[in-house]
Structures are given as structure tokens and as C-alpha cells.
Structure 1
Amino acid sequence: MAVYGIDLGTTYSCIASVDEVGRPTVLRNLEGADTTPSVVFFESPDNVVVGATAKDSAVLEPDLVVSRIKRDMGHDVPRVRHDRPYTPEEISAFILRKLAEDARTATGDPVEDVVITVPAYFGAAERDATRKAGHIAGLNVIDVVSEPIAAAITYGVLNPGQDHTILVYDLGGGTFDTTVIRLSAGDIEVVCTDGDHELGGADWDDRLVEHLAERFQAEHPDAGDPLLDKQTEQQLRRDAEELKKTLSTRTQHVVRVMHEGRVATVELTRDALADLTRDLLDRTVEITRRTMDTAAGKGVEAYDHLVLVGGSTKMPAVAEALQKEFELVPRLQDPDLAVAKGAALYAFEETYRRLLTAGEEEQAEDLADRAGISADQKRHIAGRTIRTVASRGFGIVVTDKETRRRSVEHLVHANDALPAAVTQDFYTIDSGQTGVSIEVMEQAGAVESEEQEDNAVIAEGVLKIPAGKPAGWPIEVTFALDASGLLQVTSRERETGEELELRVQIGGMSEEEVAESRAALSRVQVS
């Protein structure tokens, strides 16, 4: 009975499991790499290619390739390929299937039970979409866990027996999070989190693409814009990513930009890259400072370590800026693989605990024995607690009886401890109402706001009211946010017991549609 942890990234993904001596180990793909590009090439309606080959295909057939789909999770933005619209969940499912099938080839065991990681700042909508992507891929998603928690688990295993307060700075390919975590006797407590799921290494790449195109046009003003040619643009994106990586180890590098038979030689230094992207780095510093201010309000006065996670933290400018701003020595913690390894450990431990709770001691012992877990480690795993917080605020739309102004009243606030269950009474505003509209809202900006435009609708429905009731008739609303950040909302009319249960649905995909998609896409070959 093997379980797996998956880091489903914006630009790269990987899968890990716990080996026979209890160590988290990343499983290499069929191409022999630890990480797989999160790129999907729709070669035909019946054949999909994921990974490095798909990334190469983007240069020649950009209209058949999809990348950075993680940024669309939780949004209804299908991509049409071969006359079929694919939701972000379905495209992510292809990436998950590639990881699972390569892992099966590597181990000889089927991949079924998985934990998938998400950015800490992902809201209920994005988390629910990620879970559905796993189901479409044919996987049993044990849990969806935040990336900084996974990284903290890896950190704790590498630093056993030590109590620490750590600041996790997670700059991935497409998302950024910063999280304050306490580690005590192996237990993990998230104090607070903040972030931006549309800020990551891909934005550094975009700046470089623009710079290379501008330099080409400056040298060849009579030539067309390289960014208007899809093939040239894709080549520039490959060049930009390689340039960024190269400048993490070298102080300067040269790129040849080719377009319409012309060539421009562009030399860029590490300092010039820092200047081009300074505002992006400054945004991460600002969010980090905001997180530390929130943590200070919760009693955190000092940090033992600043842990860097995510491939983009390899850029020297990141560590330099953080050390200068916060006077903490950054610690590069296996940035590309720490999240997947932590997810594998979490999957193993959660499965072990669930088996014990269900009274299936024999299966739990078999799982532990296969991983070479000692009696002390078993006791530690069984007793470990992980406490986290809400990434954003959640509420409902209310209408003022006198002014009829609509605003958002939040029941759960960002950085409230999870799991959270809040019940509150609301009231009708007119006599004879036969129903009330329940609109569930999620904080969209960095700061909680009652203005509707600063929040996003993530679920809605209508609750029936008995006829002839006066204004001010009470409606009970309950928000239940579980430890994974998944939300369930129930509203109840007390007299009749009429209930409306709202489960957050993403991109219009109901559970029935997820099942249909799983059946349909299972017939597509993924390689």
C-alpha cells in the first residue's frame, strides 16, 4: 500500500514517496528527470503529451500547447484544442496522470492514493479545483495540503528534535507565498500566511522576453515585432528561462535572438536582470513584511530560520534582498523538491493515522514496516498535530434594510485558525419574502473589504422561506472550513427546517461532470 505526494507546480511538477528506510524520495520521470514541465501538448484528440517534449513542441505548434494552467485553477477559463474545450481541472489532470504513470513505471506499483500540494494563498475555489483535477486523473486525493506546510514537514525531518519558528519564503514558477510556522516537538502550527498566486518566476521570464524583443527591434527597426510571431515568442520564452537560470550561477550571458532571418546578439548581466525585475522582488518583500507584521500581532517576536522554497529562490538577488531587509540569513531548503518530499511524508503519516483511527492496525503496521519505521517514529507520527489557518476571508452578501446597499459580511477571516465552524443569524428585509439569495464570497484582495468588487463569488443558491413571514425573519448560516481550506456552507430556515447546502463548484463542474470527464479522458493516451 504505497502513498504519494505530488507538487503540482505552475512551471514544473514532481512526485515523491517514502522509501523502504523511511526517507522521502522523488521518483524520476521516464526522461530521467526529477521534475516534469507542467506543459501539455494536444497532439491529437486521442493523444496528449506532457512534459519536456510538450515544452519543445510549443516552439513549432504553440496553438496546441498549454502551459501555466495552475494560474487558472478555480476560474472558468477553458482552453479549446481540436475543437474541444478543456477546463483547467482537466488539463491539470493530464499532468497528474503523467506523473502517476511515470511513478508506476519506476516502482512497479499503481499510483492511487495521493496528497497534492497547493500554494498557501490558494482559496477554497482553487483548492477544490485541485482536488477535482486529481479525481479526473483517476486518483484518490487523500488531502490537499499547503506547500509551506509540506516544506515545513521536510524541514522538521531534516532537523529532528529541534523547536523552531521559521519563515517560509516560497517563490515558485507562478505563485508566491510567505508563511510563519512554529515547529514544536514535531508538531506544526501555521501562525499566518499571505501571498499572491499570480506572482512567480514566470513573471521574471516575461520581463526577459520583453527585454530580448525590445533589443532585437532596436537593432532591426525595420523587422516585425518578434512577439507577434507565435513561434518566435515561444523560442524567446525558452531562451528567457535558460537565461534566468544561467544568471543564477554566472554574472553575464549572451543570447542570440533570431526572427525573420535576422539575428540580434543580446548580452545581459546578473545586475541588469535585477534592475529589470526589481519591482517584482520588491512585491515579494512587501508581502513578507506584511506577513511578519501579522505574526508580530500574534506574539511572534523572533525567527530561527528563513527557509527558501521554490526554484525561483535560486536567483542570488532573492537571498541578498531578504538578508538586507530582514537581517535573517536565508537557508536554501532543497528548493525544487522539498514540497513534493513533504507531501509524501504527509501522505504517509496521514494514511497511517487514518488506518489506526479506523481500527485497521494490521494494515497500519504493514505500511510502517514497509517503510522501516521504528516504534518511536510510529508513536511520533500517531501523535503529530498540524494546525493551519485560513488563507483568505469568507462571507456572504448582505443588504441594508434602509439604504438597500449591498456589502459583504465576513464570517471567517484570513489567518483564522482551521478547522473553523461559524454560525450566524441573518434576517429578511421585506415582509412576505418567499426566499433569500445566499451568495458566498471570498476575499479577492490582499486586505479584507466589505465592498463586493473586492471579493469573488464562489457559490450561490436560494433558500425558501415559508409564505407570509414578516420582515426580520431569521436565517441561520453556517460556514465550515476544514483543515485543508475546503469550504462548505449551509443555510437553514428554522421553522420548517428547510436547508440549503452550498458546495463550492469551480468552472461549472459538478461532481457528476467530474465523473463524466474522468471517464472520457481515461480514453486519451497520455505520454
Structure 2
Amino acid sequence: MTVLAIDFGTSNTVVCLHNLVHGQPETLDLGSLSFRYDQASPLIPSLIHIDSRDQVTIGNKVPKYDCSRILKGFKRELCQAFQPAPTYINQRPYTPKDAATLFLKELLKSIEEIAKIKPTEFIFSTPVGAYESYYHCLQDIASEAGYKQVRFIDESTAAALGYGVKNPGKIILVIDLGGGTLDLSLTKIVKPETNQSIYQGEVLVKTDRAYGCGGLDIDRWIAEDCLKKHGRTYKDIGESAWQNLLMISEKVKIRLSQYELAEESFLDENTFETWKISLKRQELEDILERQGFLRLLREAVDEVLEIGYSKGISKREIHHVLLVGGSSLIPAVQSQVFSLFGRERVHCDKPFEAVAHGALSLIQFQGINDYLRHTYALRHYNPFTKANEYYPLFQSGSSYPCIAPALYLQANHTGQQQIQLIVGEYTPSGATEVYYDEQGMLQIRSSDADSSFRPLGSQNTVQFPLNPPGVKGEDRLSVNFFIDPGRTLKVDVFDMKNQTFILKQQAVGRLQ
């Protein structure tokens, strides 16, 4: 049996397998697709290039000069609630799902061709706040490639497991600062019972900051700062030059993790003027503070500590703090975490491969005691108020398996032949909506309940036929929703008039 773990990242992707000879996780080097930061483990850039003949190139083989044909950042867009407009290449639209599908299919093919490995099972690590559609996408891609055995584990917990296997009983906080999001997880590894060798993982607290906390955001802020210094705007230089400027900004950010000063050159494609981009480490820290990045980091840590405290876990009981993701190498980030927990508790030696290695360690575990990250609700239209109404089924933070209270449904009018309910992920208040402003910049604003409701999909709409037709004011159906141990939402529907089940353990969707 060959199990591969894939940490599909916004900026970089890591693939590893369990080395049977050494008994340790081994990160795969896929030749020209991979590259290394200062002799670190091999990484595969999450990039796609599509040439004029629609030929696809991924990873480190992508030509960096042809920005108009490069797709990037698609993983972040895919796992969030909003979907931006598609990118057109060769007059063909590419959505985030299209891009992710292309990238992962090429990656799976390269694993077989370059590494000569035909895995029997995949384990995908996923962001803490990923939506249900993201899981379906990964499952579909693997299935189309011929792989039926797919498991999932959230990225923060995966990193905790990777470090925590050697420390059963210890409480571990993972701070995952990648290209797209800031995810945190407080996890405990439970000791095996007597005469057993299988560990049990227990997730205690999870939280995430989906916007304004990723490496892509930092690249954009550096690029915007550069434009401001030269009296230019995004519209002045155009999309192609902007993408090139973002790549240069990423290089500057990476260099500032090691040096006090970073300098690069940028060519304005409209005026053919060359700019010198120079940024000091302190200037980057000022940008992060001004944009609220460090404040959001502090707030996320505070939220985890507060929830932990409500569960009887004090800050001093956290034995290890693990920094994961490329953005965790930024000195200002590390200083922030050192000041909160003390340098001796903080580990930052495996920023790129801890998640993939931890995901692979899932094969050593009997299971993960986890809970739901999102609230799930029913949406239905009230003909009296002429508005949508929402009935929460399972609140965020609920452990599973679990059962929702029974619902008793009536027909809205006599003669009604079916009742339809839509299940979705729901944020009752304080939701965040992402949009693009007039200059094409990503912005955030508060949204209402309707805009924060995300249906699981049209195929997951639950329709209950009524035969004979319903009578207004009469309880007709008893509906029970429940979540099984595999995190699948199922429903039982009992027709109270006919005393028969219309649906029994019908799967509605897989939840996060």
C-alpha cells in the first residue's frame, strides 16, 4: 500500500510519502517541477501556464516572463465563499475550479511519470475554513484520475499531528500562515490505550482568518506601496505589468526574511521605464502594521486562547507553538509569536513540509475527534413575510456524529405536491463579502444573511413529494437531519399521513 499526502497550497504545493525503509515521511522531488528555498525541502509552485496551443505547464517549469498566460492563487479562491470572474486565456474562461483541476491532474500525472509511483490512497490537507464545495472538487479530481481512496485533514491539525506524534498528551498550537489564509488549531494527541499502539487525535479549537492574512496579500501590499512611491496606480501599468510586479514583490518579501534590505528591478511595459524596488525590513513591518496584518494575527491568537480558556485550557498548558507556511518566516511574525508565548515554546524549523508530513501521519491514527467549522442551516421562503428564512441545523463547533432536533413540516397551501428545502453553510451575522473595486483591487465589506448563505449545491436540494397532496395547517412530514462519523449530512423523512418513510438515511452532502 502506497499512501501519498498532498499539501495543496496557494503559493506552493508539497507531496510526500511514507518511506518504508526509514519509517519516516519523505518529500518528493519532481525534478524540473520542483524548486528549493535555500536548500529546504522541494516545493512545487502552485502555478499554471497555458501557451497559445493550450498546452499546460505547471510548477517551476512555468515561464515567469509570460504573466498574461499564468494562473495562480486559484486554491485560495476555490476554498472561499466568493468566486471571482474567470481569467481568459486564448479566449477561453478559466475559473478557480478549472485551474485547480488542471494543476492537480498534471501533478498526479507527473507523480506517476517522474516519481514512478502509483499510490493506492491520497490524503489531502485542507484549510480550516474551507467550504464543502472545496472537498467535492478535490474528491472529483482524484476520482477522475482513477483514485477512489481519498481522505481529508485540516492543515493546522495536520501540522500538529506531524509534531505531536512524539508527544502524546501534549497540547499543541499551530499557526499556519500560508499564501491564502491564516489558520490556527489547538490539538491534543491522546495516548494509546494499554496494549495498543494506535494514537487518537483530538481537535480542541480551530479558527481562521480568510482575508488579509496570506502571503498573496503581503505581495499585493508591497506592490501597491511601490506604485504609490512612483506616483502610479494599478490602471496606469495594466494587468500584465501588475502580475509581473506581484512576482517581484514576492521575491522582495522572501529576501527580507533573511536580510535587512531587499532590492529588485521592475520594467514598466507601457513606458519602458525601469524602476528600482527597494524595501527595508522595518518598512515591511510598517506596511504589515498599517494594513492590520499583525493586528489580525493577534486577534486570531486571542480568539483561540479565549475559546481554549472556556474549555478549561490555559495559555501555560500549551506546550508547543508551531509556525507553518512561508509567511511564518517573516521576522515580524516570529517576533509577534515569540512575545506571546516565549521563544522556547515556538518551533519554526519545518515551515513548508510540516503540514504534508503531518497529514501523512494520519495513517498512524485511529481517528480524529473533530467538530464542524461552519453553521449549517435550512433556507426556505416564507410566503407571509415574502423573505427567506433560515433554520440552523448544526451550529459551528458541534461535535459529530450528531442529530438535529426533528422538524415538522406543513404545506403552504392545500393541494401542494412537494416541499423543497435548501441546505447550506450559513453565517447569521457579521459575515464578510469579498468584491473587486473599480480599480480591480480585492476589497472586503460586511454582508447580510442572504449573501452569507452558501448552498451545498443544486444537487443537494432536498425535495419531499406529497402524495396525496398536502393540506394547509396540517403537520405532514417529520424530518430528521443527522451527521454520521464520516461527516456526511443525511436525512430521514417520514410521511405522517401515510405512516411511511419517504427517505431513509439519504445523503445530502459532505460537511466541513
Aligned Cα root-mean-square deviation (Å): 3.0
Aligned partners of 2:245 and 2:61: how far apart in 1? Answer: 17
Q: 1:412 to 1:41 in 2, by over 3 A?
A: same
Matches within 5 A, 1:127-146: 127-146=135-154
Task: Say whether the 8 Å CA contact 1:117–1:343 is kept in structure 2.
Answer: yes
Match of 1:391, SS state, is coil
SS across alignment from 1:267? strand
Match 1:169 to one of 158, 166, 175: 175
Instruction: Give 2:74's aligned residue.
Output: 69
1:502 Cα deviation after fit: 6.3
Return the TM-score normalized by structure 2: 0.81
Q: For residues 227 and 439 of structure 1, do their structure 2 counterparts lie closer, same or farther at Cα, with a shift above 3 Å needed? A: farther
How far is the alpha carbon of 1:95 from its aligned partner?
2.1
Distance 1:43 1:294, change over 3 A: same
Distance change in 2, residues 1:44/1:344 (3 Å): farther
Name the SS of the counterpart of 1:277 in structure 2. helix
> Are the equivalent residues in 2 in contact too, given 1:217–1:225 (CA < 8 A)?
no
Aligned counterpart, 1:17:
17
Q: Say if 2:309 is the partner of 1:309.
A: no
Question: 1:499 matched to which residue of 2?
Answer: 503
Counterparts of 1:323-342 in structure 2 under 5 Å?
323-325=338-340, 329-342=345-358
Bigger fraction of residues in helix:
1
- Picking from 278, 281, 285, the partner of 1:267 is 278
Q: CA deviation at 1:489?
A: 5.2
The sequence identity of aligned pairs, in percent, is: 21
State the match for 1:201 in structure 2: 215
State the alpha-carbon separation in 1 of the partners of residues 87 and 489 from structure 2. Answer: 27
Other structure's SS at 1:469 match = coil
Stretches of structure 1 lacking an aligned partner (at least 5 in a row)? 219-223, 350-380, 507-527
Which residue in 2 is equivalent to 1:397?
379
Task: Decide whether the 8 Å contact of 2:48 with 2:103 is kept in 1.
Answer: yes
The structure showing larger relative contact order (alpha-carbon pairs under 8 Å, at least 6 residues apart) is 1
Which residues in structure 2 correspond to 1:435-446 (within 5 Å)?
Answer: 435-444=418-427
Unaligned runs of 5+ in 2: 36-41, 192-198, 432-446
Deviation, 1:15, is: 0.7
Report the secondary structure of 2:312's partner residue: coil
**Equivalence map 1:125-524=2 (5 Å):** 125-157=133-165, 160-185=166-191, 186-198=199-211, 199-217=213-231, 228-259=237-268, 260-278=271-289, 279-301=292-314, 302-325=317-340, 329-346=345-362, 349=363, 381=364, 384-398=366-380, 403=385, 406-422=388-404, 424-428=406-410, 430-432=412-414, 433-444=416-427, 451-459=449-457, 460-466=461-467, 467-481=469-483, 485=487, 487-488=489-490, 491-494=493-496, 495=498, 496-499=500-503, 501=506, 503-504=508-509
8 Å CA contact 2:4, 2:15 repeated in 1: yes
C-alpha separation in 1, matches of 2:349 and 2:393: 36
Q: CA deviation at 1:281?
A: 2.5
Contact 1:144 1:484 in 2 (8 A): no
Take 2:429 and 2:200, find their aligned partners in 1: how far apart are those partners? 28
Between the aligned partners of 2:171 and 2:8, the Cα distance in structure 1 is 26
Q: Name the TM-score, length of structure 1 as normaliser.
A: 0.79
SS of the aligned residue for 1:72 comes to helix
- Mapped partners of 1:481, 1:284: distance in 2: 32
The corresponding residue for 2:39 is: none
* Residues 120 and 148, structure 1, Cα contact 8 Å, conserved in 2: yes
Q: Cα distance, 1:424 vs. partner?
A: 2.3
2:179 counterpart SS class: coil
